[in-house]
Chain A
């Protein structure tokens, strides 16, 4: 073919609102990276040491200081996935999709942690590794929803399709969470199973809240770093595409 009279790529007006850019860590993230682990260690140490052993459970009850905050944050992470999924479908901003993915990964880990700890707590308490307790069972279902979400992402290569599809799955999954919880709860009561008494000493409440906040900080930090990782991958692919293109323009 004769000489090339094409305009270079830079002359194309991008339809993406802003280019994806990987910046240096923002100050708040640097601060949190230090603060979060300190907060966790501090609140765990303080409340484990300071709170009295439960009258029935003894020191075992203190596993709640990890189990409950993990559970709360796992559900919070799913809520985050919901928001980012909605944002993606609305604005088609790739960053929302990456934020959702980061949230799902961290959420999945937290959910798994919740289940394992619940099981560990349950063994000495009820004598079994698992009871079909409403909250624990709903958490198990949530875990599977996360796994499905991540599997879908793993099996879909095209980034735009992956973003759209996971957004749909994330939103519907989030819608289902309260419904699943309700159905499992009714199912338990109808079968007249005794709800395992989770009587927590009121002094534990402050400990739970403090630890929950500490875990929230950890959640934020993990999501932020995971997001940055995903963003870096995406920016890299884009740069490779452009490099391939400009090479072709020159030849």
Chain B
């Protein structure tokens, strides 16, 4: 991927696209292969990679017993960004949760929790935005918000990698769309000149049921 590029990977469930995203996010160690993000190696220097990216996952990743504001404050403290009320409130306002700041995350609908995790993304400006099924459980307003976020990242010179099984709400944003099937990318990835995310033949393996074997690990094995 090039800097400032929006790459979408589409494929059916189980095609391995989420796993691919997770490798890029350094959440999963690849069994084989390598990758770099703006020069930082995924396996050798994951800390450096992490400081550059933000992940919007399928799960909201919030703490049910904490309020929306407390969730954001925790994220801000962990990220090392200002924890004053104002920027947190702004983030909540932006995602349409301006009045839910004192609501416990557990009491929110899944769509609202999703928005909360988007608010978390707004706390800083990552260089690489990774998104896993960003349009899921979001109404048209939410989808619009996601697209705004994508546009803003690109305008900053950042890159966006999103995986989805359905891009109908993407407003045609992605610069490039690659399909993934059964763990294999349908096109070769960018050559060594691309200076953003380089993913070389990272091939997830899932359970080969044909063997009748108990291989219960999914993902990159």
Contact = CB atoms under 8 A, between A and B. Distances in A.
A244 B210 CA distance: 9
B211 A240 contact: yes
Contact of A5 (B32, B181, B187, B217): B187
B205 A244 contact: yes
A18 interface: no
Interface in A1-32: 1-2, 4-7, 9, 11-16
B137 interface: no
Nearest to B220: A160
B208 A240 contact: yes
Contact of A244 (B31, B179, B211): B211
Interface string B188-217: 100000000000110101001011010111
B217 A249 contact: no
B43 interface: yes
A237 interface: yes
Contacts of A9: 203
A35 interface: no
Interface string A231-251: 000000100110111001100
A158 interface: yes
Interface in B94-133: none
> SS class of chain B's interface: helix, strand, loop or mixed?
loop
A163 to B, nearest CB: 12
B187 to A, nearest CB: 7
B186 A240 contact: no
B33 A12 contact: yes
A157 interface: yes
B188 to A, nearest CB: 6
B221 interface: yes
Given A157-B217, A240-B211, A248 B34 contact: no
Contact of B184 (A2, A11, A249): A249
B145 to A, nearest CB: 32
Contacts of A5: 186-188
B211 A6 contact: no
Interface in B30-44: 30-34, 43
A7 B188 contact: yes
Most chain A CB within a 10 A radius of its CB, from B181, B185, B201: B201
Nearest to B43: A15
B188 A6 contact: yes
Contacts of B187: 5
Contacts of A245: 183, 203, 205
A158 B211 contact: no
Contact of B182 (A11, A240, A243, A248): A248
A158 B32 contact: no
Contact of A1 (B30, B181, B201): B181
B213 A240 contact: yes
A4 B29 CA distance: 26
Nearest to A7: B201
Contact of A12 (B32, B183, B208, B213): B32
A12 B217 CA distance: 21
A248 B217 CA distance: 18
A6 B208 contact: no
9 contacts: A1-B181, A12-B32, A13-B32, A15-B34, A158-B221, A160-B31, A241-B208, A244-B205, A245-B203
Interface of A: 1-2, 4-7, 9, 11-16, 157-160, 237, 240-241, 243-245, 248-249
Please list the 10 inter-chain residue pairs (A to B) with the smallest Cβ-Cβ separation, ordered nearest first.
A244-B208, A157-B216, A158-B217, A12-B201, A14-B32, A248-B182, A241-B205, A15-B32, A6-B184, A12-B32
